[in-house]
A and B are shown apart, each in its own frame.
Chain A
């Protein structure tokens, strides 16, 4: 097929190649480039990337070393649920002021760490570097080391200066590095089994992890740690003894799995618990990996009863959603991992895009979507509005900033991001997913949006 000459929507010349159509040419957009200055970007900073990877460690204090805004705008904004501690929900900052900028903030940081340790005795204190910490040259590593010696508590530097890169993914990796360098491998498990695993890249948003944790346990695998949803730091410390890493969010955490494979020889498989088919496949792949006949048998039973439990529960929704179009514009992983789930609902993914995708992410998207699907990279707010206006999907899946852009255009929206309140993973999660998607797409409100009273 001839490559399209017409740009997908009107935009800057340099941005045109960041959008493409599957089936035409390479089917991979230009990606992983710095955003144009002066656009309303949907991206965030490296610090934000590191923070969301580590924040779900529930027994830890997350201390932001910078002026107050970096902590004030990000504390408790990830809907990662906890079954135990709630320390991770606190917003802690060194609140750097003018004096600290001039004389350095290391002393203040040290004192703050000591105070927080005294107040909360946490599992660990993660110290995040912000742009300012970087510009004034505070040696966070040295301060953390000293504070660790004094307190006896894990004090972990996270070198996440916000401006380091245009891509938040770098922040994910920095978060993973902090775990690799300072946590994983620092404690031996009391006992091991042949079926020890880590659940990597699962952040328990809205309790997603709890949607498939019981399935894994029933299969007979032993979960050493989740990295990082609903976790304690001492669990992650033992992660090096797992026999397998299963990776849910491949965007943020493949990096960690690869590094663990290299360092500890732990193989990994990519899983996806969004959607019935993907849940079934993931469970089977885990069982196949271990190759234990009893586990395989148990797994088949779990699948059978899991599917039976939800059978017909989504019929009503599927009927209404049949043939409706959906556009995905997300951080990364969900741009491919959700595609099959929507197809199972009878919906058509007409667009998929990410804010921070790198080439391997777009390879995955290309594999997942049908011919003719628009693939977009780093669409800024204006481009997103134009895409929505031109193609008018029946639903946009995106985050909180995009939500109101879509709604203002009369495009229904469903939250699949940090602040979502329903768990969508696993068998029952799929029913919630169908229900919520239907609530958005089938809302009577949007019929009223285009009523004409004049003329």
Chain B
């Protein structure tokens, strides 16, 4: 029987979360813009703990400003903090863009963000003149922390950016890419594929350099500090003139939909190009939008992935059971890929509550012919309990599952966010054919380490 077996979380408490709140996603998105500053309108902890989380995963600085709301703001509103905060950022950091990111408290207080931005601009014009003021784009991003997850915050941020910044002019022949919350290695792989296809792109937004930047003190712009790279504001302006938008995630494609509605830029949403068929689909989408045919180089890369799958899957991976947890897009993508490898995606678990996720998993269940235990809106405790009665061979997910893996004596293949107890995971892609090769290497080596007799390795190729 092939279907999805939905398992409900039968309690209120979240125990060991698999999601965080919206503002983190927005801070991530704004970091992907060149010379942009995320300005969190909330308590100091709202920026500090996120900076800590991001730094721990990427091993990079994470520069996020905050309006430092205190008790008086809860009573009288955060008006002065935001207006002063915007001016301080504008004057001291001379940014190209400021993303004003709300939080639970500023949303509940009901601060009039748009009005405050207007006032701040007016005051700023008096101080630094109109020309300089107009050069700084100020984008309000509403991210109420008590609604959905970090991915929604990312989605809201990308949508706010195109809604406030994109402007139609001449067609540019480029493709917009909304990568979703992925790693620098993933975005670099997408850009590599686009390069091979000879397609120019605008990545909305591109965290690949800001979250993986070189240590070159002489080259680092220190006054003030901005990391190398990121999407330029001009590119975001130009995104209204692109040939199309591909959102690698259908869970956060509102920016693509908005560009389609407002500027007739055709949108393709998902799936994330993890594994063979999803990457095939990504290339078809590219072809559909640009007319560019898939090149030999890309077919070779596909061939290399298929080659390693042929080498490894029947020998080591077939019928091995897997539990996958994390963000919906990545989890669904990996579920499909392990299916392609002949493995059994026995359990999938995501922290978001999303119907689309269940539909995605139903598709994988049909393709693989297995029943997939599925948890949505779940937490890691749910997986911990499940594994006691339903063990699997391999866990795939973030470092947050490491203690469960240890307790259950099941090896963990690390993917997604956050990965803090191993290195290099933000650098290597899991998307595209090359990402598939990397992933299959990770999975197979884990299987070899754990399920084969070391003394017979020489016979087991």
B contact residues, range: 35 or more
Given contacts A132-B108, A163-B70, A408-B220, contact A93 B17 (CB under 8 A): yes
Q: Does A71 contact B (CB under 8 A)?
A: yes
**Across-interface contacts of A96 in B (CB, < 8 A):** 104, 146
Could you list 15 examples of A-B contacts with CB < 8 Å? A42-B48, A44-B45, A45-B43, A48-B48, A73-B53, A74-B49, A90-B16, A91-B16, A92-B15, A93-B17, A112-B12, A115-B12, A162-B46, A381-B63, A400-B55
- Whether the Cβ atoms of A403 and B215 lie closer than 8 Å is no
**Across-interface contacts of B225 in A (CB, < 8 A):** 381-382, 385, 405, 408
Instruction: Name the segment of A32-40, A216-224, A299-307 touching the other chain.
Output: A32-40
In the complex formed, the residue of A with least CB distance to B223 is A386
**Across-interface contacts of B237 in A (CB, < 8 A):** none
Q: Does B109 contact A (CB under 8 A)?
A: yes
Q: Does B306 contact A (CB under 8 A)?
A: no
**Across-interface contacts of B89 in A (CB, < 8 A):** 38
Add 5 more A-B contacts to A90-B381, A135-B108, A400-B56 (CB < 8 A). A37-B81, A47-B43, A92-B15, A134-B74, A404-B62
Q: Does B69 contact A (CB under 8 A)?
A: yes
- Whether the Cβ atoms of A405 and B16 lie closer than 8 Å is no
Instruction: Name the segment of B20-28, B198-206, B243-251, B313-321 touching the other chain.
Output: B20-28
- Whether the Cβ atoms of B49 and A73 lie closer than 8 Å is yes
**Across-interface contacts of A66 in B (CB, < 8 A):** 104
- Whether the Cβ atoms of A116 and B61 lie closer than 8 Å is no
Chain A proximity of B113: nearest CB distance (Å): 14
- Whether the Cβ atoms of B108 and A101 lie closer than 8 Å is yes
**Across-interface contacts of A42 in B (CB, < 8 A):** 48
- Whether the Cβ atoms of B65 and A38 lie closer than 8 Å is yes
The 10 closest A-B pairs by CB, nearest first: A45-B45, A69-B21, A38-B88, A38-B85, A37-B85, A72-B20, A73-B49, A67-B145, A162-B43, A131-B105
- Whether the Cβ atoms of B108 and A449 lie closer than 8 Å is no
Determine the distance from Cα of A40 to Cα of B342 in the docked complex, in whole angstroms.
48
Q: Does B13 contact A (CB under 8 A)?
A: yes
Determine the distance from Cα of A100 to Cα of B92 in the docked complex, in whole angstroms.
39
**Across-interface contacts of A450 in B (CB, < 8 A):** 217-218
Which listed residue (A43, A98, A108) contacts B147, Cβ 8 A?
A: A98
- Whether the Cβ atoms of B88 and A37 lie closer than 8 Å is yes
Q: Which residues of A contact B (CB under 8 A)?
A: 12, 34-48, 63, 66-75, 77, 89-98, 100-101, 108, 111-112, 115-116, 119, 130-132, 134-136, 161-166, 381-382, 385, 389, 400-401, 403-405, 407-410, 419, 449-450
- Whether the Cβ atoms of A73 and B104 lie closer than 8 Å is no
Q: Does B276 contact A (CB under 8 A)?
A: no
Which listed residue (A63, A131, A385, A408) contacts B104, Cβ 8 A?
A: A131
- Whether the Cβ atoms of B17 and A34 lie closer than 8 Å is no
**Across-interface contacts of A63 in B (CB, < 8 A):** 13
**Across-interface contacts of B74 in A (CB, < 8 A):** 131, 134-135, 163
**Across-interface contacts of A90 in B (CB, < 8 A):** 15-16, 381
Given contacts A72-B19, A449-B215, contact A34 B68 (CB under 8 A): yes
- Whether the Cβ atoms of B44 and A41 lie closer than 8 Å is yes
Query: Contact string, B224-236, partner A, CB cutoff 8 A, digits 1/0?
Result: 1100000000000
Given contacts A38-B88, A90-B16, A92-B15, contact A407 B215 (CB under 8 A): yes
Which listed residue (B15, B24, B51) contacts A91, Cβ 8 A?
A: B15
**Across-interface contacts of A71 in B (CB, < 8 A):** 14, 17
Determine the distance from Cα of A91 to Cα of B13 in the docked complex, in whole angstroms.
10
Which listed residue (B55, B70, B85) contacts A165, Cβ 8 A?
A: B70
- Whether the Cβ atoms of B17 and A68 lie closer than 8 Å is yes
Query: Contact string, B103-137, partner A, CB cutoff 8 A, digits 1/0?
Result: 11100110000000000000000000000000000
Chain A proximity of B128: nearest CB distance (Å): 14
**Across-interface contacts of A67 in B (CB, < 8 A):** 21, 104, 145-146
**Across-interface contacts of B88 in A (CB, < 8 A):** 12, 36-39
Q: Does B50 contact A (CB under 8 A)?
A: yes
Q: Does B428 contact A (CB under 8 A)?
A: no
Q: Does B363 contact A (CB under 8 A)?
A: no
Most chain B beta-carbon neighbours within 10 Å: one of A97, A131, A136: A131
Determine the distance from Cα of A89 to Cα of B16 in the docked complex, in whole angstroms.
9
Determine the distance from Cα of A408 to Cα of B55 in the docked complex, in whole angstroms.
12
**Across-interface contacts of A166 in B (CB, < 8 A):** 44, 68, 70
Determine the distance from Cα of A7 to Cα of B12 in the docked complex, in whole angstroms.
54
Q: Does B67 contact A (CB under 8 A)?
A: yes
- Whether the Cβ atoms of A41 and B66 lie closer than 8 Å is yes
In the complex formed, the residue of B with least CB distance to A45 is B45
Q: Does B52 contact A (CB under 8 A)?
A: yes
Which listed residue (B20, B39, B49, B55) contacts A44, Cβ 8 A?
A: B49
Chain B proximity of A405: nearest CB distance (Å): 5
- Whether the Cβ atoms of B45 and A41 lie closer than 8 Å is no
Determine the distance from Cα of A192 to Cα of B108 in the docked complex, in whole angstroms.
52
- Whether the Cβ atoms of A97 and B147 lie closer than 8 Å is yes
Q: Does B410 contact A (CB under 8 A)?
A: no
- Whether the Cβ atoms of A91 and B146 lie closer than 8 Å is no
- Whether the Cβ atoms of B45 and A70 lie closer than 8 Å is yes
Chain B proximity of A99: nearest CB distance (Å): 9
Chain A proximity of B306: nearest CB distance (Å): 38
**Across-interface contacts of A400 in B (CB, < 8 A):** 52, 55-56
**Across-interface contacts of A409 in B (CB, < 8 A):** 217, 220, 222
Chain B proximity of A345: nearest CB distance (Å): 26
Determine the distance from Cα of A410 to Cα of B103 in the docked complex, in whole angstroms.
34
Determine the distance from Cα of A94 to Cα of B104 in the docked complex, in whole angstroms.
14
Q: Does B11 contact A (CB under 8 A)?
A: yes
**Across-interface contacts of B80 in A (CB, < 8 A):** 37
In the complex formed, the residue of B with least CB distance to A136 is B108
**Across-interface contacts of A43 in B (CB, < 8 A):** 44, 48, 68
Which listed residue (B11, B144, B150) contacts A115, Cβ 8 A?
A: B11
Chain A proximity of B224: nearest CB distance (Å): 5
Q: Does B333 contact A (CB under 8 A)?
A: no
Chain B proximity of A76: nearest CB distance (Å): 8
Q: Does B71 contact A (CB under 8 A)?
A: yes
Most chain A beta-carbon neighbours within 10 Å: one of B15, B16, B63, B222: B15
Q: Does B403 contact A (CB under 8 A)?
A: yes
- Whether the Cβ atoms of B215 and A72 lie closer than 8 Å is no
Most chain B beta-carbon neighbours within 10 Å: one of A41, A136, A407: A41
**Across-interface contacts of B222 in A (CB, < 8 A):** 385, 389, 409
Q: Does B42 contact A (CB under 8 A)?
A: yes
- Whether the Cβ atoms of B13 and A115 lie closer than 8 Å is yes
Determine the distance from Cα of A400 to Cα of B108 in the docked complex, in whole angstroms.
31
**Across-interface contacts of B109 in A (CB, < 8 A):** 135
Chain B proximity of A44: nearest CB distance (Å): 4
**Across-interface contacts of A72 in B (CB, < 8 A):** 17, 19-21
Given contacts A68-B149, A69-B24, contact A112 B13 (CB under 8 A): yes
In the complex formed, the residue of B with least CB distance to A36 is B88
**Across-interface contacts of B220 in A (CB, < 8 A):** 408-409
Determine the distance from Cα of A46 to Cα of B51 in the docked complex, in whole angstroms.
17
**Across-interface contacts of B62 in A (CB, < 8 A):** 401, 404
Which listed residue (B21, B24, B50, B68) contacts A41, Cβ 8 A?
A: B68
